[in-house]
Amino acid sequence: MPICPVDTSRYGSSEIKAVFDEESRLRYLLKAEIALVKALEDHGLAPPGAGEAVEKAAQRVKLNRVKEIEKKIKHELMAVVEALYEVSGDYGKYLHFGATSNDIIDTATSMQLRDSLTIIERRLRRLALLLKRKAKKYRDLVMIGRTHGQHASPITLGFKFAVYACEVARNLERLRELKKRVLVCKLGGPVGTMAAYRDLGLSIEKKFAEYVELPPAEIYTQVLDRDRYAELVLWCALTASSLDRIATEIRNLQRTEIMEVAEGFKYGVQVGSSSMPHKTNPITCEKVSGLAKVLRGFTVPALENIPLWHERDLTNSSCERFIIPLSLIILDEMLLSITNVIENLKVFPENINKNLWLTDGRAFSEAIVAELFYRGVDRRKAYFHVKKLVEKSLVQKVSFREVLEKDDFIRKYLSKEDLVRLLKPENFLGEYNKLIERALNYVSKVCSAP
């Protein structure tokens, strides 16, 4: 009976969960054991045909038999070896020679991570390109920028999307960089010295690495150093936080009082509230934000796993069974969810324009200060004089432009025509177009990289 939500259809795609299910895990472990026998065969430590024979025999290893053996001997990897031994005939004598459990376990984990990160990388790239398209589509849709939750200066919706596209692309770059440290194999024996292989250790390791299609780590003890897994989990949390950022922005912009963008809602089918028929809640973005909290929580045990006793202890094992597969399955769910939100995002230009003018033009005060500076006014003097006029507009409940037009100091430097031009938000967007283009060029470069 499923208990964890990822064991149901609620979170994570079937594609990524197939990488981490029990049957798949067994096949990865068997693949590592087969690779070892093939490497031994290449060096004359197993007879010709041993690798192929063991590979065929491995197809007959059943998960329930492995569990049956493990229940008896209390050792996860030896249960796999024993189950494989039972079906390997005379070739069973060559199984696991010179290896320790984590040579097989850590190598199998790397194979799982390679396959799961291929899925994640594909999803990240898709999201980055989707955000790029949205940035182009809404490049010139002027809206109010907000800092501290308050109206700031104008921005465009496309500018926002370009910012998010770059952040997703940076996480894609980070993933490609960390893979060379995370996706490695090992074959060093009990303390990492390859002692059982005498002077053939490095050569056997090289062939083993070729069969599992992973480069060997530079050096290791009985286990791969756990800073590698910590980096992966930290990256998952970092990427999740970037997705949380996008989701949080959409949630805020979907507030009833703002309603500039909103998640797609299937009217006539979808239910927003069990008691209030009018509700259309941003539930997918809220899910993304909630799952990001879980992933950030995994960073502490990942870091705690780095210091192990001497050449290793077993304190890392139990929590890795949670944090490694769950980090990737949850991140997969978040990527699918936020991509769906962006694809079906509702944009309300009329509300964007209404909110842009909510302060009667006061949100464009920086444009006035800047123009006064360019006309020779001391910046500090310009700032405080305009600030006084902003407050006057607010207290007297009259438009900012009207206050400016009646002010003697302002009239000395700026005509009515100047004020009309300066108080158009589309005229105070600076280099937004070039900045968007620069950002999208970066996204294209990252997404086109192999």
Helix, strand, coil percentages for the chain (3-state, nearest 5): 70, 5, 30
Taking the C-alpha atoms of residue 53 and residue 417, their distance in angstroms, rounded to an integer, is 88
CA nearest neighbour of 142 among 355, 318, 301, 286: 355
Taking the C-alpha atoms of residue 438 and residue 68, their distance in angstroms, rounded to an integer, is 59
Catalytic residues: 148, 273
CA nearest neighbour of 134 among 172, 165, 168: 165
Taking the C-alpha atoms of residue 191 and residue 100, their distance in angstroms, rounded to an integer, is 9
C-alpha distances (whole Å) from 293 to each of 8, 51, 176 are: 20, 46, 24
Taking the C-alpha atoms of residue 323 and residue 223, their distance in angstroms, rounded to an integer, is 17
Do residues 255 and 337 lie in contact, with contact meaning Cβ atoms separated by under 8 Å?
no
CA nearest neighbour of 336 among 295, 292, 297, 284: 284
Q: Residue 410: CB partners within 8 Å, gap ≥ 6?
A: 368, 385, 389, 404, 419
